[in-house]
Structure 1
Amino acid sequence: MKWVKALQEITPYKPGRSIEDVIQHYGLKEVVKLASNENPYGCAPSVQEWINSASIHTEIYPDGFAASLRGKLAEKHGVDEGAILFGNGSDEIVTIISRALLGPDTNTVMAATTFPQYAHNAKIEGAEIREIPLTDNGQHDLDGFLQAIDEQTAVVWICNPNNPTGNLIPSDDLKSFLEKVPSDVLVVLDEAYFEYITDPGHVDSMTWLNQFSNISILRTFSKAYGLAAYRIGYAISDPTIITELNKVRNPFNNNSFALSVAEKAIEDEAFIEQCRALNHQQRERFKQYAQEKNIRLYDSETNFVLMEVPNDTDVASEKLLHDGLIVRSGNALGIPGFVRITIGSEEQNDKLFQAFDRLWMEG
């Protein structure tokens, strides 16, 4: 086979262990999955009720324009309907952007470490990847980003809050950075965890769309909305950017049922507010636990934390599996010595803290 040369340097995405797999392998009765940053509270009850009663004409193709959901999101964010691009999860939008803008004669700038799909897609397109190390506290080095940008830079990726560290870039710093980026460079603000932010000083980047015509804001229904199974993500940009990206997007890339579920979900903002409050409450528990145990914990504005473990990260993750807890090893994320833990419910976190006590006692 005449495979694309870039594939020789890439390995397929390796998903974490499933609940069913861990139950069977370790002989457990109950397993808590805290590895993929899913919403432990599920989706809104109003959405679940709608799902149970919904009917879809299975023989009809989806609305390729996603008109109904598009209209509601445009109203929600105060943007033109032509400013929205839908993807099969925001992952697909990363692929669309990469395919539209990256190639062997371009480079792309991103943090190290950050969401791995940026680099993955850039490699496939043959672009040069310029990774700027995070600061000691896990923040983006925006000055380093500016130094790395040149005439061949096509895309800059900013994951905010960042995955896997959870750090939120101060709004003043980010806005100052955007003011210095050349106008022909697309800056992607990947905000998958936007709904979990509680920092009172944070400014919604949607308010910057009129000032910066070269930004693309990514959001998703997979996290706070609890709809990861339906794969609905979206980007909001200047309509001229969306027009070009739509040339790359596959038609009917979102299925009818998923579009309808997402449309129902945005009607229940009270559920999002409840999840944000519950998550913040439990996130504070992690901070308090780390302080009491003198364990290093990255500052997070997401629904996950990156927490220190006493030994090799894979070993620690394996021990936690024996306790019925699935977490993400930092070795797989490029941050050894830490595990990424989804912030669960109060009961789930109680179990996690008890297992962490044993982990540190055993060393």
Structure 2
Amino acid sequence: MSGKIEVQARKELKQMKPYTPGKPIWEVQKELGLERVVKLASNENPLGPSPKAVTAMQAALTDLHRYPDAQSVQLKQAIATHYELSAEQVIITNGGDELITLLSETFLDAEDEIIVPGPTFSEYEFGAQLMGAKVIVAPLTNDLQYDPEAIVAAVTERTKMVYLCSPNNPTGTILSKKELQYILDSLPKWVLVVLDAAYSHFVSADDYSDGIEFVRAGYPLVVLKTFSKIYGLAGIRVGFGAAPQAIIQNILQVKEPFNVNALAQAAAIAAIGDEEHVSRSRSLVAEERQRLYASFRELGLSYTESMSNFVLVEVGEQSEFIYEQLMAKGIIVRLAKAWGLNSHLRISIGTPEENELLIEALHHILKENT
């Protein structure tokens, strides 16, 4: 049978833009014929996965003919114990992205509104558009900080959810605990707040909250966390949400069974207890973040001080050219045009050696083009 296909997709798909991830190392190697490529584009852990997680996955390999635990009971309990929650306040998902989709499917109807900071992680908008909901952007300030008053002022009777990303991707800026408290206390009771705290482990500021204390206090809040960043498990996709039990029960109604594979569950259980790997990863980011700042100042580049494992740096009108030149030298960074930041690059913090290669390459490119 042949001929024109007349099956029509949902109208919402016409306005949706698929997420564009950073280029993988193998693709750049193939395209440019390079042997060595340094990836500083996807905010991954340059130290690799938690060693304890690797050992746990190896031990679980012989049971791969069995379906994984559909409710991830052991992992759920490990997370609950770690954060002093009840297991009923935790949901395990296939990375943080799945939780965003599940939240959209659970709580959003067509014509509902969500509020997001701008610029921020694009998947919040994607999830809302999937359900036919409207996205309202509450812009960050000129220096890319949160404006809590603007977020509260954007609320209407149609507002169903407010997304807060702290540290925010791609800016690395945070909400203080006081600002988070203000937003939570100021919003109508029917509004669900989602705090994406994927990068919370890297925060060094004293006045920060990852939101878990507000979950314990019973606020209508979902805290999103992931094992992809500090634990180094991005390749196996496991994340979780923490929220009051009633909210978790609603989300569970739309969750598919067996959504998190057995290796991911085993790895995450081991990783959450690997304090040495967490400490080493946090220290590396803190030290190398300062080193990048110093190098950017030396190169005359402005940057936004970050509480995460990446730095947003302003390189000027030639941002795309510099991005391509770095790529040609085997260094993958993230062009920030997708966030409307046309003169910026987002650079993940790598190992000292990787960061040195980046600095040398930037110095060479800028020197040649000034």
Normalised TM-score (structure 1): 0.97
Equivalent residue runs for 1:332-343 within 5 Å: 332-343=338-349
Q: Distance in 1 between matches of 2:218 and 2:298?
A: 43
Instruction: String of CA shifts for 1:102-161, please: whole Å, max 9, x gaps.
Output: 122311100111000011111111111101111111112211111111221110000000
Alignment partner of 1:6 is 2:25 = no
* 2:127 paired with 1:121: yes
Tell me how far 1:301 sits from its aligned partner. 0.6
Residue 249 of structure 1: how far off its partner (Å): 0.9
- Do the aligned residues in 2 keep the contact of 1:109 with 1:153 (CA within 8 Å)? yes
Equivalent pairs, count: 363
Who is 1:185 aligned against? 191
Kindly provide the amino acid, as one letter, of the partner of residue 190 in structure 2: D
Q: Distance in 2 between matches of 1:199 and 1:58?
A: 42
The 10-residue stretch of structure 1 (43-52 or 178-187) with the greater mean CA deviation from structure 2: 43-52
**Would you say 1:44 and 2:50 are equivalent positions?**
yes
Point out where structure 2 has 5 or more consecutive residues left out of the alignment: 1-6
Q: 2:238 aligns to what?
A: 232
Distance between the aligned counterparts of 1:101 and 1:112, measured in 2?
Answer: 22
Within-5 A mapping of 1:47-196:
47-196=53-202
- Deviation (angstroms), 1:2: 2.0
Deviations 1:69-119 (A, max 9, x none): 111111100111100011100100000001111122311100111000011
Aligned-pair CA distance for 1:177:
1.6
Provide the C-alpha distance between the structure 2 equivalents of 1:48 and 1:350, rounded to a whole number of angstroms: 28
Among residues 18, 29, 32, which one is paired with 1:26 in the alignment?
Answer: 32
Alpha-carbon deviation of 1:17?
Answer: 1.7
Number of the residue aligned with 2:272? 266
Q: Measure, in 2, the Cα distance between the counterparts of 1:211 and 1:95.
A: 25
Runs ≥4 residues deviating over 6 A: none
Please tell me whether the aligned partners of residues 97 and 123 of structure 2 are also in contact (alpha carbons under 8 angstroms). yes
* C-alpha contact 1:178 1:212 (8 A) present in aligned 2: no
Secondary structure of the structure 2 residue equivalent to 1:91: helix
Return the alpha-carbon distance in structure 2 between the equivalents of residues 123 and 288 of structure 1: 41
Is the Cα–Cα contact under 8 Å of residues 56 and 266 in structure 2 kept in the other structure?
Answer: no
Measure the CA separation in 2 of the matches of 1:352 and 1:244.
Answer: 46
Select which of 338, 357, 364 maps to 1:358.
364
**In 2, Cα distance between equivalents of 1:16 and 1:209:** 33
CA distance in structure 2 between the aligned counterparts of 1:345 and 1:226, rounded to whole angstroms: 14
- Given the alignment, which residue of 203, 208, 212 partners 2:209? 203
CA contact (8 A) 1:113 1:334 kept: yes
Equivalent residue letter for 2:132: G
Alignment-derived partner of residue 244 in structure 1? 250
Q: Which residue of 1 aligns with 2:3?
A: none
Q: Distance in 1 between matches of 2:362 and 2:316?
A: 10
Report the AA paired with residue 102 of structure 2. I
2: distance between equivalents of 1:259 and 1:48?
12
What is the TM-score of this pair, normalised by structure 2? 0.95
- Residues 259-311 of structure 1, C-alpha deviations (whole Å, 9 max, x = no match): 01111111211210111011100001112222233311011011001111143
Deviation at 1:57, TM superposition (A): 2.0
CA–CA distance in 1 between the matches of 2:23 and 2:77?
38
Gaps of 5+ in 1: none
Shift of 1:208: 1.7
Structure 1 window deviating more from structure 2 (167-176 vs 285-294): it is 285-294
Distance 2:210 2:38 in 1: 33
